[in-house]
Amino acid sequence: MEKAHEPPEQPEQLEHSPVPDAPHSDNPKWRPPIVVPPGMTKSAAKKMAKRAAREEYKQATKHDKRAKERARRKERRALLRTAERPPRVPRPPPQPFPARVVVDLGFDDLMTADEATSMAAQLGYLYSVNKASSHPFHEIVFAGAGTVSGRSLGFKPPVRAIESFPDASTSETSIFDDRVGKHMEEKSLATWRRWSRVKLVEKGGIEALWTRSPSEATDAAAGETEAGSWAQWTPCDKSQVIYLTADTDETISEMEPGMTYVIGGIVDRNRYKNLCAKKAAALGLQMRRLPIDPAFLGGQGMSSRKVLTVNQVFAILVGWTETRDWTQALQRGLPSRKFNTPQDDDKASDTHATTSTLSPSEETHDECPSEAP
């Protein structure tokens, strides 16, 4: 007799018993096996798992870390309340030095966007140095493009500068529309207009200091500013202006009250030789260089070219107003990496002995860029 059709036997369904604790649960570094998704390599899956584990750990310990940090701050505050504090010595009021420093930002047509950003940052460092000084300069002036531009002196801007800013600034261009000015106005929220002891020559460049009045160098809309604001700078005579540049043989001996000292405001990566000296000559200005010589550096030489940023040059000038000593001023303003070590001096003497056999026409001279006095 044929047996009736019976359904296939189903596998026995087992009740899932509770999973025992993992054998590595006491090991904080233990992680479950990594499952590699389709289409992903094993290394990529490992990286993804590590990121997920880090995020999980971060979220799990976030509240504990915050609680511990609050407890530490509370403990520190309690200790400060019970500790005896020394009496605070009031800072003496600053004694301004009666001279002026001008940063010539009239090389707008020779800088790239990144270099203009670097120049804007240096202006901030310069302001901080003057504000913290016990003998600050009584006035700092930022001046934009004037009648003498880098291109008019025969210097060609880099391709990146032309692509970013095809139109060069002129003497009638507002400093707020220049590359550095735009950075200060937009990204720095125009804070430079509120900086103490800082004035802005909106139009006309550094030439406006002796050819225009503040009202003539300011737009009509901006001319409504109150006395003592960013637009109220002091005119001067051209004979009182000294352009600081490394490309001159005249060394500054001391800073004189009532004088105006100009620093070339450019970041050019050593592209332009004698730039500031040529501009000063075109404007008929006196030129001086800082005394960066071994005689003022305690016998030390420079381990690199005498290329300084605008804020470093300004720090040296402020150091002199505070100490009336160029040696101390240079040691304050120059970075330590600029100085030679004794081993470097020995190497330099050996190199000089070797190169001195060259004829004057064959010997290489390391000229200082014009933007670094």
pLDDT in tens, 221-252: 444 444 347 888 889 999 999 999 988 999 99
The number of distinct structural domains making up the chain is 1
Q: Is residue 135 part of a domain?
A: yes
As given in the structure block, the two tokens for residue 134 are 């016990």
Average pLDDT over residues 4-28: 50
Confidence of residue 98 (pLDDT cuts 50, 70, 90): very high
pTM over 0.75: no
pLDDT of res. 156: 84
CATH of the domain at 212: 3.40.1280.30
Query: C-alpha 260: how far from its chain's center?
Result: 24
* Res. 286: pLDDT tops 50: yes
The C-alpha torsion from 209 through 275 and 110 to 145, rounded to 10°, is 10
**Burial zone of 132 (CB within 10 Å; 0-12 exposed, 13-18 middle, 19+ buried):** exposed
Q: How far apart are CA 280 and CA 75, in angstroms?
A: 61
| Single-letter residue type at 289 | R
Tell me how far the alpha carbon of residue 147 is from its chain's centroid: 27
CA distance 309 to 371: 8
Helix (H) or strand (E) holding 287: strand 286-288
What is d(CA 209, CA 259) in angstroms, rounded to the nearest whole number? Answer: 12
Is the per-residue pLDDT at 50 higher than 90? no
Q: How far apart are CA 103 and CA 139, in angstroms?
A: 11
Determine, yes or no, domain membership for 114: yes
- What pLDDT is stored for residue 172 in this prediction? 85
Q: Which domain holds residue 222?
A: 97-293
Q: Specify if 92 maps to a domain.
A: no
Q: Quote the crossing angle between the two packed helices 113-132 and 310-323, to the nearest 10°.
A: 10
Q: Is residue 9 part of a domain?
A: no
pLDDT for 282: 94
Residue 276 lies in a domain: yes
Kindly state whether residue 334 falls inside one of the protein's structural domains: no
The per-residue DSSP string of 69-123 comes to HHHHHHHHHHHHHHSPPPPPPPPPPP--EEEEEEEE-TTGGG--HHHHHHHHHHH
Residue whose structure tokens are 């004035």: 199
- Please indicate whether residue 213 or residue 118 has the higher confidence score (pLDDT): 118
- The CA-atom distances, in angstroms, between 216 and each of 144, 148, 208, 211, 220 are 15, 19, 9, 10, 9
Residue 109 lies in a domain: yes
Q: Is residue 1 one of the residues assigned to a domain? A: no
